[in-house]
């Protein structure tokens, strides 16, 4: 029912802090780091399934040997495809190492130098990326990690990230003003080229400082040791407007992870004697390295975790911090619910909906059945049931305190439990591959299976909780029709997230305003009440602001929703998604923003619900998106 909101991208960085020989001796394999990277990526595969990429850098190999390796894939199982190729490479190398021992007596199998000189992906710095292409085409050229190559080792840059920039045009123009000729006007290219430019300048600065003191090749080593990555990030990122967790590996072996100043995109790290690792989700680190949760730290917004050529780890500021607005959708939907903090937050989201739900079913719990869809909503469902149990406990206490109960009444009171059923399940065997609209709609209706004969027909109400309702398409085309076949008296659809009203510009695939069912509901209400002039007024304000260069100062689109209460929008949504011929009553209940912030107090990034964007670029994007809507243009607004 979430209408397949696409996920954030995922990052995974591993720095082996000891010599490669240590891992070969201790773990009896040259693939220790790769095995950990594979596990970290698989544990984050929920974050992006359009493609994946892996890169590796060797720190101390001699000239004449490749020191950067990279594989990328857009196959359906991209992570498995990449590591399958790497495993074949290592299986072949194992045979070669054994033959070397037979022919020369050298124990190549257990020799780190042999592995690093002869086999790719045996470096100390490993980077993995899982891609969801928010706007780009699903081609291998769009897959991270991206590579900026140079014959000077310290000028090479490998980058990947979970980010979207709102000011790509401005960044592109700045690159041109620096004398560059970027091959594309996309944020991935502009970000890498801008950081690459200042990495080049830092190389040149160090060259100028030491050229009279050292001769090559020693000079190259000195430059690599002295490069100030903090300075590079300070100079290159000062104009960035967006949400980002960017990973960079330099050719000489130092690496960094830079997090945006509002903390929009997540990044966590763990360090011990053997490794320093970074991931988009705590759970990936916890599972891969079996560490305690309190050993996993969050990279501070506006800071970069820098791992130098020696493996030393430091967290340093590189840009002025903004008010922290970490993405709340991470907590509601994107991140794995097995993270203990996220698990408890999702349960709280379900629990906080109880007053609204009770009102919709007129407190008639005897004739109400509770369920959920999809599987990602299960934790909120558990919280909802906990909330019902708490409500019933208070009801029991009040009834007992108020007076004497007959034995039968007391037994009913003490033994009653909420009615819970698995009403709808997704049939993973059915694929919606048909292209014609009529046939596709029919196929979508059969992607789900329904459990029959558990509803008292025309007596029971059905309450179904979901993590979010964005477009409402799946509700209208499938879910509501299936539920109606059970002949309930009333259907109550509950969203653990508030109404999504505004486009996201920091990484989520929610960019076209007309797709939001809440926006369509507001338009319908404006028309019904003769307030369509507000559309023209907002459009004029947006156009003037865009022309005057002030569109980043205010979100004018808020005026579209201002005349209506949340309940009025929800009621109109229920009318919009109601299929023709639906017999049951229908209500839509959304989480309130206040309760969302109560459940997730450390993740107050709620711009898609409130329109309160954490960066100026967000206001510009929403105003431009509205202008595009009014013009009937379906293009990216940033």
In angstroms, rounded to a whole number, what is the distance separating the alpha carbons of residues 477 and 344?
32
In angstroms, rounded to a whole number, what is the distance separating the alpha carbons of residues 552 and 624?
10
Check pLDDT > 50 for residue 189: yes
- What angle in degrees, to the nearest 10, is found between the helix axes of 32-42 and 78-104? 170
Q: Residue 181 — very low, low, confident or very high, per pLDDT cuts 50/70/90?
A: low
Q: According to the model, what pLDDT value does residue 607 have?
A: 96
- What angle in degrees, to the nearest 10, is found between the helix axes of 616-631 and 533-548? 130
Averaged pLDDT for residues 132-138: 57
Contact in structure between 164 and 195 (CB atoms under 8 Å): no
Cα-to-chain-centroid distance, residue 625: 22
Contacts of 575 (CB under 8 A, 6+ apart): 524
Q: 212: burial class by Cβ within 10 Å (0-12, 13-18, 19+)?
A: exposed
Residue 563 structure tokens: 């005349």
DSSP 108: G
In angstroms, rounded to a whole number, what is the distance separating the alpha carbons of residues 439 and 566?
35
Phi, psi of 15 (to 5 degrees): -115, 115
In angstroms, rounded to a whole number, what is the distance separating the alpha carbons of residues 551 and 541?
9
Q: Residue 434 — very low, low, confident or very high, per pLDDT cuts 50/70/90?
A: very low
> How many C-beta neighbours within 10 Å does residue 102 have?
8
Q: According to the model, what pLDDT value does residue 136 have?
A: 47
DSSP 477: I
Q: What is the pLDDT of residues 491-526, one digit of tens each?
A: 999 999 999 999 988 876 666 788 899 999 999 999
Tell me, letter by letter, the H, E, C secondary structure of 170-230: HHHHHHHHCCCCCCCCCHHHHHHHHHHHHHHHHHHHHHHHHCCCCCCCHHHHHHHHHCCHH
Cα-to-chain-centroid distance, residue 250: 25
pTM attached to this predicted model:
0.90
Closest C-alpha to 575, from 584, 567, 587, 591: 587
Contact in structure between 465 and 350 (CB atoms under 8 Å): yes
Helix (H) or strand (E) holding 345: helix 340-351
In angstroms, rounded to a whole number, what is the distance separating the alpha carbons of residues 249 and 212?
28
CA distances from 593 to 328, 556, 601 (A): 11, 20, 11
In angstroms, rounded to a whole number, what is the distance separating the alpha carbons of residues 182 and 116?
34
> How many C-beta neighbours within 10 Å does residue 230 have?
17
Q: What is the pLDDT of residues 36-90, one digit of tens each?
A: 999 999 999 888 778 999 999 999 888 888 999 999 999 989 999 999 999 999 9
Contact in structure between 374 and 360 (CB atoms under 8 Å): no
Contact in structure between 510 and 164 (CB atoms under 8 Å): no
Using only C-alpha atoms, the chain has a radius of gyration, in whole angstroms, of 28
Q: According to the model, what pLDDT value does residue 426 have?
A: 67
Q: According to the model, what pLDDT value does residue 442 have?
A: 56
Q: According to the model, what pLDDT value does residue 441 have?
A: 53
Torsion of CA 575, 580, 582, 583, to 10 degrees: 100
Check pLDDT > 70 for residue 568: yes
């Amino acid at each position: 029912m979430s209408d397949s909101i696409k996920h954030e991208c995922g990052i995974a960085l591993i720095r082996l802090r000891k010599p490669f020989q240590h891992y070969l001796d201790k773990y009896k394999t040259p693939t220790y780091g790769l095995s950990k990277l594979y596990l970290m990526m698989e544990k984050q595969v929920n974050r992006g399934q359009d493609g994946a990429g892996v890169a590796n850098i060797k720190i101390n190999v001699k000239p004449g040997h490749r020191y950067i390796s990279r594989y990328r894939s857009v196959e359906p199982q991209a992570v498995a495809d990449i590591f399958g190729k790497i495993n074949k490479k290592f299986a072949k190398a194992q045979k070669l190492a054994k033959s070397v021992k037979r022919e020369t007596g050298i124990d190549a199998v257990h020799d780190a130098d042999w592995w690093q000189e002869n086999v790719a992906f045996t470096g100390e710095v490993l980077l993995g990326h899982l891609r969801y292409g928010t706007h780009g085409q699903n081609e291998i050229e769009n897959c991270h990690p991206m590579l900026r190559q140079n014959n000077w080792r310290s000028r090479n840059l490998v980058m990947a990230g979970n980010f979207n920039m709102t000011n790509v045009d401005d960044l592109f123009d700045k690159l041109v003003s620096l004398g560059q000729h970027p091959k594309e006007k996309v944020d991935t290219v502009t970000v890498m080229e801008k950081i690459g430019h200042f990495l080049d300048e830092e190389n040149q600065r160090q060259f100028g400082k030491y050229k009279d003191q050292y001769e090559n090749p020693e000079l190259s080593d000195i430059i690599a040791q002295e490069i100030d990555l903090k300075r590079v990030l300070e100079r290159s990122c000062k104009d960035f407007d967006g949400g980002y967790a960017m990973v960079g590996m330099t050719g000489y072996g130092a690496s960094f992870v830079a997090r945006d100043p509002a903390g929009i995109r997540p990044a966590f790290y763990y360090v011990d004697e053997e490794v320093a690792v970074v991931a988009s989700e705590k759970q990936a680190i916890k599972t891969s390295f079996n560490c305690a949760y309190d050993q996993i730290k969050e990279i501070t917004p506006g800071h970069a975790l820098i791992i130098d050529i020696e493996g030393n780890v430091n967290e340093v500021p590189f840009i002025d911090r903004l008010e922290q607005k970490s993405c709340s959708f991470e907590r509601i939907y994107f991140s794995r619910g097995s993270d203990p903090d996220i698990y408890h937050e999702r349960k709280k989201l379900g629990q906080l909906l109880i007053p609204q739900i009770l009102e919709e079913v007129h407190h008639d719990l005897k004739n109400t059945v509770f369920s959920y869809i999809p599987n990602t909503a299960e934790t909120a469902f558990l919280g909802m049931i906990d909330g019902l149990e708490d409500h019933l406990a208070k009801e029991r206490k009040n009834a007992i305190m108020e007076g004497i109960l007959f034995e039968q009444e007391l037994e009913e009171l003490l033994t009653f439990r909420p009615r819970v059923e698995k009403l709808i399940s997704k049939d993973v065997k059915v694929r919606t591959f048909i292209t014609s609209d009529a046939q596709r709609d029919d196929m979508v209706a059969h992607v789900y299976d329904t459990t029959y004969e558990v509803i008292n027909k025309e007596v029971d109400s059905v309450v179904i909780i979901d993590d979010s309702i964005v477009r409402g398409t799946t509700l209208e085309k499938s879910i509501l029709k299936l539920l109606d076949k059970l002949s309930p008296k009333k259907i109550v659809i509950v969203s653990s997230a508030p109404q999504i009203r505004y486009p996201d510009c920091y990484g989520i695939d929610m960019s076209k305003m007309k797709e939001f069912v809440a926006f369509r509901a507001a338009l319908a209400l404006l028309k019904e009440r003769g307030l369509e002039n507000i559309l023209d007024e907002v459009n004029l304000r947006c156009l003037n602001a865009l022309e005057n260069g002030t569109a980043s100062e205010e979100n004018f689109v808020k005026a579209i929703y201002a005349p209506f209460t949340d309940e009025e929008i929800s009621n109109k949504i229920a009318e919009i998604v109601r299929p023709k011929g639906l017999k049951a009553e229908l209500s839509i209940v959304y989480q309130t923003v206040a309760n969302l912030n109560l459940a997730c107090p450390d993740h107050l990034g709620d711009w898609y619900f409130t329109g309160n964007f954490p960066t100026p670029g967000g206001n510009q994007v929403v105003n431009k998106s509205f202008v595009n809507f009014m013009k009937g243009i379906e293009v990216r607004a940033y």
